[in-house]
Each structure stands twice: as C-alpha cells, then as structure tokens.
C-alpha cells in the first residue's frame, strides 16, 4: 500500500512539474520546480497578498519536504524499476540505437536535475 501511495505521489509530482515547466515557468526553467518559483508564479497569477504568500510558501515547503521523505524511501525501488525497463529497451535496440538511447537517458537525467531535489530553504515563520 505504501509503495502504491508513493507511486501515486511521484506521478502527481511529475505531472505537476511537467505542467509548470511547459506552461507556467517557461523554457528557461529546467529541473524540478522550486517552491520559490511556484510561489512567484502564484503571486503574479493570483495576486496573493503578503499573508497568503507566507501561507502558500509554508504549505509548498512542507509538501515538498513530505514528498522528498517518501521519495527517499522508495528511490531504490524506483531506480530498479527504471533500470529494468532500460535493460529491456536496450535488448531490442541495435548497437547504434543503444548508444543513442544511453545518450538520451543521460540528457534526461541532466535536465531533470537531482532526484529527489535538494530541500528548499524554509521561509521564516
């Protein structure tokens, strides 16, 4: 059950990151969105006042922290699942395709950044 919850949270996080990256934060942003970037976007789009901004910042910092703890627990399983998939994919590729596939994996990991991302600084209370 915990693994299913973690996978669902991971999927939701990936989907949120993709939406924010492609639609809200622009092409110059790479890697996982930070709470600060999300708050900045929310502030401009929702016209948050100072108190709302403080609460949203704290909520996102807490949510990112909770998600990070979950990901740290399931990271070995996630990494193993990804590697099993990559092995199966490489098995059907020609040597040239496998070389390109490996380059693509490296590029994806470079663009994605650290996984899970490092903890954001918690805003002052």
Peptide bond into 67 cis (omega under 30): no
- Using 50, 70 and 90 to split pLDDT, how confident is the model at 125? very low
The number of C-alpha atoms within 13 Å of 40 and in the hemisphere containing its C-beta is: 9
pLDDT in tens, 57-101: 999 999 988 988 998 888 888 888 989 999 999 999 999 999 999
pLDDT in tens, 110-123: 887 655 555 555 44
pLDDT given for residue 2 in this prediction: 59
Closest CA to 107 of 30, 33, 37: 30
pLDDT in tens, 21-71: 555 545 555 556 788 899 999 999 999 999 999 999 999 999 988 988 998
pLDDT given for residue 104 in this prediction: 94
């Amino acid at each position: 059950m915990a693994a299913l919850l973690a996978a669902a949270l991971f999927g939701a996080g990936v989907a949120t990151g993709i939406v924010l990256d492609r639609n809200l934060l622009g092409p110059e942003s790479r890697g996982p969105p930070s709470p600060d970037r999300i708050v900045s976007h929310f502030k401009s789009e929702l016209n948050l006042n100072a108190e709302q901004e403080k609460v949203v910042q704290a909520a996102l910092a807490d949510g990112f922290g909770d998600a990070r703890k979950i990901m740290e627990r399931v990271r070995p399983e996630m990494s193993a699942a990804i590697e099993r998939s990559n092995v199966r994919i490489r098995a059907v590729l020609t040597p040239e395709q496998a070389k390109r596939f490996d380059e693509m994996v490296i590029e994806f990991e470079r663009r994605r950044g650290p996984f899970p991302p490092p903890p954001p600084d918690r805003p002052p209370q």
